[in-house]
Chains A and B, each alone.
Chain A
């Protein structure tokens, strides 16, 4: 069956790795990003090596109204939408500067929700489609080191959970991805522990396979499911006093 896939945040390292996994069942690929001319080489590469046609779309997640008009006419054609865009931001800056706070919330939550709403309605109407949202383990419990990002991702996870329950009844699937550490541009300057850090290729492959199997919530590496289980269960009285 012909299939159209859309990747939002297509410049992200994980999305780039995902493109290489896309197989011939896909007939058309939509790559969405800011400064989309960066993706011209990827477009020709996919067209030549996979014989899949590609469209590039320019969109900034934070331009709310514009996105709604941009995606409304396209959404009914799409079979699978992956939402990769995200912004880690600077925790300390966000504590004092509202512009940074808003940027974190708007990218990871508000902007994401407004775009995916368009797809949810279109998919509900045609009673098919898959929505894949890349959230984060950071949303599983707020922590002092990144609670702006964490809370925005928590909101995004809750949004995806609720939407999954609603749309399951009309044959639309929603999958939540909760990556732990991934070695990507977002974390390039951080010293991440190798053992619990996934490469972007590994992450892409886990996400791609899970979407095929219509999983509900996936942790990119199993170890993170346990790490977060522990973190979530630390009593607040103790949690308050430690820093992780």
Chain B
């Protein structure tokens, strides 16, 4: 079998792997039986070292819709289908994803294995909250049907289990009814962290909320940014033109970053300039508009391969969550540390998580503040992350394994009793094999 050099979205780290790409789901059982150690992989849209292993089962050809009830909105698909493909099928019928991450180019299996969260976490929970059942090929090579009552232990170990329990082959979940494919979005310009966190508290009954933050501002302006709120638009919200086709799919506009940028392009000055422009683009305090769902949920997907702007050495995303209690102080300490290190991060995203499902014990979210930061890989990256890890640990937070490549084991949330059959580079790094 030929080997390929693969990496995830951060382009760091890389690994030589044998990638098996079954055309038919029946092949998965045989592969799992035969290989000593293997890992399922979706579209590689995690950032760090989690979806990497010397032997990989790529699910990308297992991408078929198995059932779709347009009355109830229950859909069953193979695990390798992309969320973008699901949307293209369900939106014209009046259904949206119950939970979606900031990119639609992930697979259904990846959504379950990371138990992804979206801008509606405080209101509608994680992806698993909407999953009815799934099928999993376990270490012995057999297929197991799992739901909340049947094989419930395996069900909950697989949710957020990062592929360590087996290969998810199909998932059945509940879609969300929508009247239109548009979002009523409200952007609020916020001057600092205190105001930001207050506003998050006040917007608890808005379905979608997330904030972009300027991480380089210090003092009174620390944490300035833009809070983005959204609701699915109703028919009555649309103008006449949009009303003609209320469930229209967004037009595809595709920009591409065809090559890796040289490493020096993205420096502190570039980040400063970007942050300045982003913040000042909006003149008014509050800006309301009706936009298509791509613009609201997936602004980054409009630029293919945007990860290449960080250069060939790649980048890492540091995403953590701190309990709400004391979280504000923790966030300030983190922002101070980043400010002092002079490390810019383009995309700093803040969100307030809501209550979580106690049974989903390997899911990343907990009630509190989550912040995601991108850092270009340099010689200082490990050092900076050690400092951030210290703070997260002190405030009893945790980090998101789906983004991680540098953090310590004590901050991670992974099933402890798993087989050695399904291993990842990350599990090895964290000493979990």
Contact = CB atoms under 8 A, between A and B. Distances in A.
- Interface SS of chain A: helix, strand, loop or mixed? helix
Contact of B64 (A37, A42, A185, A191): A42
Interface in B352-378: none
Contact of A44 (B23, B24, B25, B66): B66
Contacts of A3: none
A24 interface: no
Contacts of A16: 23
B80 to A, nearest CB: 10
A13 B23 CA distance: 8
A235 interface: no
B417 interface: no
Nearest to A35: B26
Contacts of A37: 26
Interface in B21-56: 23-26
A73 B25 CA distance: 32
Nearest to A37: B26
Given A48-B89, A49-B89, A38 B66 contact: no
A45 interface: yes
Interface string A35-53: 0011001101100110000
B78 interface: yes
A11 interface: yes
A48 B23 contact: no
In this complex, which of A11, A37, A41 has the most chain B Cβ atoms within 10 angstroms of its Cβ?
A41
In this complex, which of A45, A185, A191 has the most chain B Cβ atoms within 10 angstroms of its Cβ?
A45
A90 B2 CA distance: 20
B65 interface: yes
A45 B89 CA distance: 10
B65 A48 contact: yes
Contacts of B68: 48
B24 A11 contact: yes
B67 A48 contact: yes
A11 B26 CA distance: 13
A11 B67 CA distance: 21
Nearest to A191: B2
B26 A41 contact: no
A38 B24 contact: yes
A185 B67 CA distance: 28
A41 B23 contact: no
Interface in A160-190: 185
Interface in A25-43: 37-38, 41-42
B378 to A, nearest CB: 34
Contact of B65 (A38, A49, A185): A49
Given A11-B23, A11-B24, A13-B23, A41 B89 contact: no
A38 B26 contact: yes
Contacts of A191: 2
Nearest to A44: B66
Contacts of B24: 11, 38, 41
A44 B67 contact: yes
Contacts of A185: 23
A44 B81 CA distance: 14
Contacts of A44: 64-67
A191 B89 CA distance: 37
A156 B305 CA distance: 45
A16 B78 CA distance: 16
Interface string B87-109: 00100000000000000000000
Interface in B227-246: none
A38 B2 CA distance: 25
A191 B1 CA distance: 11
Interface string A47-84: 01100000000000000000000000000000000000
A51 B369 CA distance: 45
B367 to A, nearest CB: 38
A13 B67 CA distance: 23
A41 B67 contact: no
A16 B68 CA distance: 21
A16 B26 CA distance: 16
Contacts of A13: 23
B396 to A, nearest CB: 44
Interface in B64-80: 64-68, 78
Contacts of A45: 64-66
A39 to B, nearest CB: 8
A35 to B, nearest CB: 8
Contacts of A48: 65, 67-68, 89
Nearest to B63: A45
A45 B23 CA distance: 14
Contacts of A38: 23-26
A38 B68 CA distance: 20
Interface of A: 11, 13, 16, 37-38, 41-42, 44-45, 48-49, 185, 191
13 contacts: A11-B24, A13-B23, A16-B23, A38-B23, A38-B25, A41-B25, A45-B64, A45-B66, A48-B65, A48-B68, A49-B65, A49-B89, A185-B23
Nearest first, the 9 A-B pairs at minimum CB distance are A41-B64, A45-B64, A38-B24, A48-B65, A45-B65, A44-B66, A48-B68, A49-B89, A41-B78
Interface of B: 2, 23-26, 62, 64-68, 78, 89
Given A44-B66, A45-B65, 19 more contacts: A11-B23, A13-B23, A16-B23, A38-B24, A38-B25, A41-B24, A41-B25, A41-B62, A41-B64, A41-B66, A41-B78, A44-B64, A45-B64, A45-B66, A48-B67, A48-B68, A48-B89, A185-B23, A191-B2
